Amino acid sequence: MNDDQFDLIDELYFVQDFDYLRETLGWADDHLIGVLQSLVDEGWVKVLKSPDEELFDKIDLKINGTTFMYLATKEGLMKHNMG
């Protein structure tokens, strides 16, 4: 897990929307989307349409990643706490 992935998961112990993450981390949209996509691909973050509705299909966050919510998975939290 790289530093940006670590910092992002640090914000995902609870469900957060894209705007919160952008504002909190101060990253450009493209960078944030890229880090989110890498975490989703690793299985460390899950994507939600609403706080109670997880998306299970393969998702390309470059298309509409700014409209979703995110939450670290158990595996992601474990990896985060090791590092």
The string of DSSP codes covering the chain is --HHHHHHHHT-SS-EEHHHHHHHH---HHHHHHHHHHHHHHTSEEEEEETTEE--S---HHHHGGG-EEEE-HHHHHHHHH-
Q: How many domains does one find in the chain?
A: 1
Distance, CA of 65 to CA of 19 (rounded, Å): 11
**Could you give the CA distance from residue 81 to residue 41 in angstroms, rounded to a whole number?**
19
Q: What is the pTM of this model?
A: 0.94
Q: CA 80, CA 73: separation in Å to the nearest integer? A: 10
pLDDT in tens, the chain (83 residues): 999 999 999 999 999 999 999 999 999 999 999 999 999 999 999 999 999 999 998 888 999 999 999 999 999 999 998 86
What is the CATH classification number for the domain harbouring 58? 1.10.10.10
